[in-house]
Amino acid sequence: MSEERIEAENEIKSEDNDVLIECDGLVKIFKTTEIEVMALQGLDMVIKKGEFLTVIGKSGSGKSTLMNIIGGLEKPSAGRIIVDGRNLSDYTEKEMVEYRGKTVGFVWQNSNRNLYPYLTALENVEAAMCFSGRKKSEKKERAMELLSLTGIDHKKDSIPAQMSGGEQQRVAIAVALANDPKLLLADEPTGAVDSKTSDMLQDLFRKLNRMLGITIIIVTHDMKLADKTDRVIMISDGKISTEKIMKEKYRQEFDKLSDDDLNFNIHEEYSVMDKAHRVQLSEDILKEAGIDGNKVRITVEDGKVVITH
């Protein structure tokens, strides 16, 4: 890419104030003594401020790797990631610690990773407030507010072992919000709870997104939960292959929709074209079209792109 073009692109980006995250050609290679795994293979993505989206994909497709890079826990091997106008690779070690603590809140599948087992719910939230700049008394007040926001204030004096999995996750979400982050990252937060509880947690994420305007990215295996978010990104082999975007009319009316409504197709599905104009075709489409070789013909007929073998 020429220098002029890079400059021009940067100018456009800096003006685009509603973008929170931009990933350009993200590559992540894990090297062990025997093998090299390419967990992300040139992933491009833009996430706007206030979006509520899920990431889905098969096991090993790179979902957690992407979340860890966005959260500043892993560095990409190549490509760049810009969050809130700053390239994460420009951060010093100290700034990175602050970024992880202040800009991002994490919720993990395993509550041992979210909560200190020997602290009460209230103490867990207070302990997480190290970047909030609040005084001790203010911390307690805010921690109570967050526990009531996530619907678990009645368990404020319980330790995790005295709570159900769903209750622990409500505390974990309050912990993740402790420093008023711009971004909430949740890697399979409902993976260890039953489907009714996971439904309730998903509704809680939606409420927080709508009430606080916080950007939320959730990794899930559960398509039913994914369909309750505004955008569903499907990763295959370390790249985004398809996206489903909730139709505007449903987005506005979402809170009035019943579970039956959700069975309708309330999203529109798109294939994603990367910057080099590549589109990935799913196994299902190839099978249906009877394409099994590695060469296809591409033509344009009546303004439509046609792929034949």
Ligand X SMILES: Nc1ncnc2c1ncn2[C@@H]1O[C@H](COP(=O)(O)OP(=O)(O)OP(=O)(O)O)[C@@H](O)[C@H]1O
Contacts of 214 (CB under 8 A, 6+ apart): 50, 177, 181, 182, 183, 184, 208
Partner from ligand X, Mg ion, none contacting 30, C-beta within 5 to 8 A by type: ligand X
CA–CA distance, 69 with 65 (Å, rounded to integer) = 6
Select from ligand X, Mg ion, none the partner in contact with residue 72, using the beta carbon and a kind-dependent cut-off of 5 to 8 Å. Answer: none
Residue 57 site contact among ligand X, Mg ion, none (CB < 5 to 8 Å, cut-off depends on kind) = ligand X
Phi-psi region of 212 (alpha: psi -120 to 50; beta: other; left: phi over 0): alpha
Alpha carbon of residue 190 to chain centroid: 14
Binding mask 63-102 for ligand X (x = CB under 6 A): xxx-------------------------------------
Q: How far is the CB of 150 from Mg ion (least distance, A)?
A: 23
Number of neighbouring beta carbons within 10 Å of residue 151? 16
CB of 193 to Mg ion, least distance (A): 17
Interface stretch with ligand X, choices 60-68, 176-184, 267-275, 277-285 (CB under 6 A): 60-68
Q: Is 60 an interacting residue with respect to ligand X (CB under 6 A)?
A: yes
Does 61 sit near ligand X (CB under 6 A)? yes
- Taking the complex as a whole, how short is the minimal distance between the CB of residue 250 and ligand X, in angstroms? 27
**3 state DSSP class of 21:** strand
Q: Given the complex with ligand X, which of 32 and 92 has the nearer CB atom? A: 32
**For residues 165 and 149, what is the distance between their CA atoms, to the nearest angstrom?**
18
Residue 114's CB: how many other CB atoms inside 10 A? 21
Nearest CB to Mg ion, comparing residues 67 and 115: 67
Provide the binding-site residues for Mg ion, judged by CB under 5 A: 64
DSSP track, 258-300? -HHHHHS--EEEEEPB-TT--BPPPHHHHHHHT--SS--EEEE
Taking the least distance from each CB to ligand X, the nearer of 167 and 188 is 188
Neighbours of 119 (CB within 10 A): 16
CB of 58 to ligand X, least distance (A): 7
Contact between 37 and ligand X by CB under 6 A: the answer reads yes
Residue 30 as a binder of ligand X (CB under 6 A): the answer is yes
* Euclidean distance between CA atoms 25 and 249, whole angstroms: 33
- Of residues 165, 155, 213, 164, the one with CA closest to residue 188: 165
Min dist. Cβ of residue 71 to Mg ion (A) = 13
For residue 2, the minimal CB distance to ligand X (Å) is 34
For residues 27 and 44, give the distance between their C-alpha atoms in angstroms, rounded to a whole number.
Answer: 10
Out of 26, 42, 62, 178, the residue judged to bind ligand X by CB under 6 A: 62
Does residue 32 bind ligand X (CB under 6 A)? yes
Q: Between 63 and 182, whose beta carbon lies closer to ligand X?
A: 63
Is residue 239 within 8 Å of residue 41, measured between CB atoms?
yes
Minimum distance, C-beta of residue 64 to ligand X, in the bound complex (Å): 3
Binding site for ligand X (CB under 6 A): 30, 32, 37, 39, 57, 59-65
